[in-house]
């Protein structure tokens, strides 16, 4: 059965919740759609986080990112949405999501959104 895009982020228990350590993901095949022109936007999404009690399961992260493929979104909005959804699912100690978008209209855009546990 082929995989389908999904907004559901699965998690698992952090194997070392008493230790601060960083998990990093680089997702070079992210796509969404320009909300003005309908043309595809391509980006590398970089995620860095210090887990607390939960870690994200990688297949669910892949399917989650795939779910943006046909969504019209500005770079700033989609990067912040990814951060918000991951923070809601994981409640990490800290997280940074970077959207590194390919050139559009002669402009290269990098958006970095940050979260720190209160």
pLDDT in tens, 40-96: 999 999 999 999 999 999 999 999 999 999 999 999 999 999 999 999 999 999 999
Mean pLDDT over each residue of the chain, to the nearest integer: 96
pLDDT surpasses 80 at 2: no
pLDDT surpasses 90 at 5: yes
Query: Which entry of 20, 27, 41, 52 is annotated as an active-site residue?
Result: 41
* pLDDT value of residue 69: 96
What six digits make up the tokens of 67? 């779910």
pTM of the model: 0.96
41 catalytic residue (yes or no): yes
* DSSP category for residue 74: -
> Strand pairing partners for 47?
25, 97
CA distances, 99 to each of 9, 85, 114 (Å)? 19, 15, 12
CA 3 to chain centroid, in Å, comes to 19
Three-class secondary structure of residue 96 per DSSP? strand
* pLDDT value of residue 33: 95
34 catalytic residue (yes or no): yes
Query: Which entry of 27, 34, 52, 85 is annotated as an active-site residue?
Result: 34
At 1, is the pLDDT very low, low, confident or very high (cuts 50, 70, 90)?
low
């Amino acid at each position: 059965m082929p995989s389908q895009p999904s907004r559901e982020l699965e998690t698992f228990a952090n194997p070392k919740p008493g230790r601060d350590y960083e998990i990093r993901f680089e997702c070079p095949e992210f796509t969404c759609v320009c909300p003005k022109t309908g043309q595809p936007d391509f980006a590398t999404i970089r995620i860095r986080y210090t887990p607390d009690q939960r870690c994200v399961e990688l297949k669910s992260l892949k399917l989650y990112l795939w779910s943006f493929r046909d969504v019209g979104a500005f770079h700033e909005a989609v990067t912040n949405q990814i951060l918000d959804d991951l923070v809601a699912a994981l409640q990490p100690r800290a997280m940074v999501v970077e959207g590194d978008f390919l050139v559009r209209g002669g402009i290269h855009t990098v958006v970095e959104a940050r979260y720190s546990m209160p």
